[in-house]
């Protein structure tokens, strides 16, 4: 029965993982009358977070938290439900609380499977943030690790152990890696990629026992192991349901029908604890679909969970991996292997070659969105065109029923109807209206293609304009400025724009002018074009003060310079923190103090670290062959050379880099915009990686390069990115947007496909020759210095609203409480 506004229902959710979070959000979206009072009880000491991105937390400290629920939802963290009283409709927690419910949802998830072998109790698992914290603590100072399990999460764990500095082995009982998703050919290609990264793979072997500092395999093979991690599958958490008399499966899982309802009509189960249609789903997409089904049922709907698409696209250790449909179907196979490029592609089609049944992609998964959308449907193009043609091969040929976004169950017809009925004209509007592309994100290119085709067929131009003041893209504006020699914003807008500009186009044009080296960013009208940080050559903080980050190339610094930083921070009362990019950040400087601080720093040999700009930030490094017993090249020397070469290089977005002295990858080069890893023969170059909220491993661009060739390729990569990327587009998304991806980029940079390499080389040479430190240049110009005051009419007066209080022997900003009437 649908709820009525005159009644209140009590909804209790046990567990607060991704499925529970989506359920609550879906209920709140539908609950316009505030019918449901929601309480969620989670065992972990923190609210729901993105478990798919656990490795980014371990390697980069990423914040995985989902957006908080609104105030109508009561969230109880660090508390465990111990019993369900179905007759009394209550649950009891380990805090002694009794909570009544009208409807109960079990979202208790799963636990890692730990094989029953001797010594298993000393191993770690890879499931929660607390697991990862314990793993990091154990790995400190250790040399070797073994991961038991060669599936998705096992490979993530292995990469994480390697990132913590451990020599890592992967042990998998199946004949090849990711045996549930990949076929033998795909598994073999994946193994090649992973072993090339320095990990050791053992497949088709059984675990015998775990010893104090080793793992013993069947057949007496012994692997060194200071740390052992199990990632050998999951088991549904169904103990509460079992104790409450609810039906569970023979191999675990709370039995539910296609509405995700248990045998008790007031109790549902969703996510990894639910057994629906005889199957437990361990992927996030099906779990979110179950949440939507239950949310619909709570408002009288008739939605049903009719199975789920288990297709998946992954980025494992920098390697694209995807499977879709049923890759093991007994039918015709169309396969392609390129051992040089490290790619493997296989399509499974019906015996009449008319229907796509499934497939596997390794090394290049650019066709995945297209292929997944075509599973079960008539082939809209020849198999070879599907493999290599991208979204343009199929978007217009998809039927209304073709599933585009399997995470949220959105078909091509739903997207087309939303565009037509709602007058939608951009991708964010389509995503907000349909939820397509808001799950794993792999379908976004196809959604965008559908949008463009619908707009075009309706006679609506598909605009790529930067903003209302320019009908050009950022890349087009860059070429206009470069070719015509324009040096001012007013000159550009007079020649090919309109109006006075806005907060979108002004910083973009400012960045273009800076990239082309047309003068100091604070000269003339350029000062007014900059974002706040660039205007003051420092990062504004929450209390209106600024942070100062001097450049420390490669992370190498002398004791004398360390002393200067300490003295400056002490004398100006600044908060100091070592950053993730191997620099020291000093916080709490008032605007009028900035020139005084810069003067002290520049006199000691420091210069701007450009932490405030869309520019090169850092080139991180390990200690390399100079100190480390594993190092094979001088990573510090190269990092310093690269950072000094590219310092001050303005770009569409910030740029980060790193150089690792060996395959142990201590500098985390593969999460950077460009990264370098030493080999016995030279350097491997990786491009278009990204850390942060949406991490992306960089793609391997070239191997075993000598230093001069490496630098030449990086020069061209950076200049081509600066010329062609969109506004605020990181290198990761820029590469994904290039037609042809990494292969096209190689053609441009190595083979000079566009005939522009001489121009790119010359542009970088000009940058290197013309570089000047922005702090020093500002100190030398009285006109530029005039802007560094808190009050124009009282230059020597500090801002009285800036207040600090002590915390851990340093300062902390005091933010006044805002009281609303």
What residues contact residue 817 under an 8 Å CB cut-off, 6+ apart?
A: none
Residue 115 zone, left/alpha/beta (φ > 0; ψ -120 to 50; rest): beta
Shared-domain flag, residues 101 and 244: yes
Q: Report DSSP state, residue 497.
A: B
Residue 665 inside a domain? The answer is no
Domain end marker among 513, 530, 547: 530
E-assigned strand segments in 189-342: 200-203, 207-210, 214-217, 222-224, 227-230, 234-236, 254-256, 267-269, 274-276, 312-316, 319-325, 332-338
Shared-domain flag, residues 240 and 101: yes
Shared-domain flag, residues 252 and 344: no
Shared-domain flag, residues 41 and 84: yes
| Domain that includes residue 497, residue range | 474-530
CB count in 10 Å sphere of residue 814: 12
- Under DSSP, is residue 696 helix (H, G, I), strand (E, B) or coil? strand
Domain end marker among 360, 390, 420: 390
Instruction: Please tell me the predicted confidence (pLDDT) of residue 801.
Output: 63
Q: Judge whether 342 and 195 are in contact, CB under 8 Å.
A: no
Residue 820 inside a domain? The answer is no
Q: What is the mean pLDDT for each group of 10 consecutive residues in the chain (821 residues)? A: 59 95 92 91 92 74 82 93 96 94 95 89 90 89 91 84 88 88 85 84 91 88 92 90 94 93 96 92 85 92 79 67 82 81 84 84 77 74 66 55 72 87 82 75 72 81 74 87 88 85 81 85 76 80 82 93 95 91 91 92 95 92 91 94 95 94 92 95 94 79 96 97 89 87 93 93 94 93 80 57 81 58 31
Backbone angles phi, psi at 124, to 5 degrees: -105, 160
Nearest CA to 297 out of 275, 266, 253, 276 is that of 266
Residue count (the chain): 821
Shared-domain flag, residues 40 and 96: yes
Residue 778 inside a domain? The answer is no
Instruction: Please tell me the predicted confidence (pLDDT) of residue 440.
Output: 58
Between CA 281 and CA 308 the distance in angstroms is 9
Shared-domain flag, residues 227 and 375: no
Residue 340 inside a domain? The answer is yes
Does 467 count as an annotated binding residue?
Answer: no
- Under DSSP, is residue 138 helix (H, G, I), strand (E, B) or coil? helix
Nearest CA to 194 out of 319, 360, 321 is that of 319
Shared-domain flag, residues 222 and 138: yes
Burial 743-780 (b: 16+ CB within 10 A, else e): eebbebbeeeeeebbeebeebbeebeeebebbbbbbbe
Residue 705 inside a domain? The answer is no
List residues bridging with 293 in a β-sheet: none
Domain end marker among 232, 247, 262: 232
State the helix-helix crossing angle for 444-457 and 412-422, rounded to 10 degrees.
Answer: 50
Does 666 count as an annotated binding residue?
Answer: yes
Between CA 702 and CA 686 the distance in angstroms is 7
Does 628 count as an annotated binding residue?
Answer: yes
DSSP codes joined into one string, 369-431: HHHHHHBTSB-SS-HHHHHHS-GGGTGGG--TT-EEETTTTEEHHHHHHHHHHHT--SHHHHH
pTM over 0.75: no
Shared-domain flag, residues 94 and 174: no
Helices (H) and strands (E) in the chain, counts: 26, 38
Shared-domain flag, residues 228 and 241: no
E-assigned strand segments in 7-119: 9-14, 36-41, 73-76, 81-85, 90-93, 98-100, 103-106, 110-112
Half-sphere exposure of 427 (CA within 13 A, CB side): 15
Q: Report DSSP state, residue 205.
A: -
Q: Judge whether 510 and 521 are in contact, CB under 8 Å.
A: yes
Q: Judge whether 311 and 180 are in contact, CB under 8 Å.
A: no
Centroid of chain to Cα 400 = 31
Q: Judge whether 280 and 252 are in contact, CB under 8 Å.
A: yes
Residue 154 inside a domain? The answer is yes
Does 405 count as an annotated binding residue?
Answer: no
Residue 575 inside a domain? The answer is no
Instruction: Give the H or E element holding residue 564.
Output: helix 559-572
Between CA 24 and CA 16 the distance in angstroms is 10
Shared-domain flag, residues 254 and 291: yes
Number of domains the chain is built from: 5
Q: Which two tokens stand for residue 174?
A: 């199946």
Shared-domain flag, residues 18 and 83: yes
Residue 65 inside a domain? The answer is yes
Shared-domain flag, residues 175 and 124: yes
Domain of 257, CATH number, reads: 3.50.50.60
Instruction: Please tell me the predicted confidence (pLDDT) of residue 4.
Output: 44
Q: Is the dihedral of CA 557, 588, 648, 619 positive or negative?
A: positive
């Amino acid at each position: 029965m649908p709820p009525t506004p005159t009644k209140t229902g009590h909804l209790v959710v046990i567990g607060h993982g991704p499925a529970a979070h989506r359920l609550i959000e879906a209920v709140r979206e539908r609950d316009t009358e505030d019918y449901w009072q929601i309480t969620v009880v989670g065992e972990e000491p923190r609210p729901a977070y993105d478990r798919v991105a656990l490795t980014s937390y371990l390697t980069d400290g990423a914040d995985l938290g989902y957006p908080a629920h609104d105030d109508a939802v009561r969230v109880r963290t660090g508390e465990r439900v111990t019993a369900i009283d179905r007759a009394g409709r209550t649950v009891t927690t380990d805090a002694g609380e009794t909570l009544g419910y009208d409807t109960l949802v079990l979202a208790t998830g799963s636990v890692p499977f730990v094989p029953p072998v001797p010594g298993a109790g000393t191993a770690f698992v890879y499931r929660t943030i607390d697991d990862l914290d314990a793993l990091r603590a154990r790995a400190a100072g250790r040399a070797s690790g073994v991961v038991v399990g060669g599936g998705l999460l096992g490979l993530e764990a292995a990469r994480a152990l390697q990132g913590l500095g451990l020599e890592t082995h992967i042990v998998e009982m199946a004949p090849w890696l990711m045996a549930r998703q990949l076929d033998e050919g795909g598994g073999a290609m994946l193994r090649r990629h992973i072993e090339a990264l320095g990990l050791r793979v053992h497949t088709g072997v059984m675990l015998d026992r775990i010893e104090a500092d080793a793992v013993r395999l069947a057949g007496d093979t012994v692997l060194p192991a200071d740390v052992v991690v199990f990632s050998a599958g999951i088991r549904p958490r169904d103990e509460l349901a079992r104790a409450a008399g609810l039906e569970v499966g023979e191999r675990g899982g709370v039995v539910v029908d296609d509405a995700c309802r248990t045998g008790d009509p007031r109790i549902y189960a969703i996510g990894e604890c639910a057994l629906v249609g005889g199957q437990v789903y361990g992927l996030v997409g099906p779990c979110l679909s179950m949440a939507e089904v239950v949310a619909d049922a709570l408002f009288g709907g008739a939605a049903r969970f009719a199975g789920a698409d288990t297709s998946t696209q992954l980025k494992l250790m920098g390697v694209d991996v995807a499977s879709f449909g049923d890759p093991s179907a007994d039918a015709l196979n169309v396969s392609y292997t390129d051992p040089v490029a490290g790619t493997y592609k296989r399509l499974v089609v019906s015996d009449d070659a008319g229907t796509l049944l499934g497939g596997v992609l390794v090394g290049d998964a650019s066709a995945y969105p297209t292929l997944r959308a075509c599973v079960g449907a008539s082939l809209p193009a020849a198999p070879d065109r599907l493999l290599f043609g991208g979204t343009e091969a199929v978007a217009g040929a998809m039927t209304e029923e073709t599933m585009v976004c399997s995470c949220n169950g959105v078909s091509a017809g739903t997207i087309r109807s939303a565009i037509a009925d709602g007058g939608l004209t951009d991708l964010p509007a389509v995503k907000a209206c349909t939820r397509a592309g808001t799950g794993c994100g792999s379908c976004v290119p196809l959604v965008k293609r559908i949008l463009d085709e619908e707009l075009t067929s309706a006679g609506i131009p598909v605009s790529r304009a930067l903003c209302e003041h320019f009908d050009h893209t950022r890349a087009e504006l860059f070429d206009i400025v470069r070719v015509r020699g324009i040096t001012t914003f007013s000159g550009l807008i007079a020649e090919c724009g309109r109006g006075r500009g806005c907060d979108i186009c002004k910083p973009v044009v400012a960045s273009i002018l800076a990239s082309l080296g047309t003068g100091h960013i604070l000269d003339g009208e350029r000062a007014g074009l900059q974002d706040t940080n660039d205007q003051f050559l420092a990062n504004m903080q929450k209390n209106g003060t600024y942070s100062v980050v001097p450049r420390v190339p490669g992370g190498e610094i002398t004791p004398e310079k360390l002393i200067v930083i300490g003295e400056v921070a002490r004398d100006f009362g600044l908060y100091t923190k070592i950053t993730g990019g191997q620099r020291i950040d000093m916080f709490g400087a008032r605007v009028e103090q900035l020139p005084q601080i810069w003067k002290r720093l520049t006199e000691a040999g420091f210069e701007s670290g450009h932490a405030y700009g869309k520019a090169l930030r850092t080139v991180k490094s390990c200690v390399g062959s100079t100190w480390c017993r594993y190092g094979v090249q001088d990573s510090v020397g190269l990092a310093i050379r690269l950072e000094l070469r590219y310092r001050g290089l303005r770009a569409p977005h910030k740029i980060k880099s790193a150089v690792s002295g060996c395959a142990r990858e201590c500098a985390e080069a593969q999460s950077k915009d460009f990264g370098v890893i030493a080999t016995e023969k030279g350097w491997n170059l990786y491009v278009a990686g990204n850390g942060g909220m949406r991490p992306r491993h960089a793609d391997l661009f070239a191997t075993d390069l000598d230093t001069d060739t490496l630098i030449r390729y990086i020069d061209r990569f950076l200049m081509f990115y600066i010329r062609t990327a969109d506004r605020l587009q990181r290198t990761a998304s820029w590469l994904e947007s290039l037609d042809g991806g990494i292969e096209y980029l190689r053609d441009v940079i190595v083979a000079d496909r566009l005939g522009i390499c001489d121009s790119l080389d010359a542009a970088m040479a000009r940058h290197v020759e013309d570089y000047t430190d922005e702090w020093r240049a500002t100190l030398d110009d009285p006109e530029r210095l005039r802007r560094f005051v808190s009050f124009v009419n009282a230059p020597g007066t500090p801002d009285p609203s800036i207040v600090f209080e002590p915390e851990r022997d340093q300062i902390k900003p005091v933010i006044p409480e805002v009281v609303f009437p």
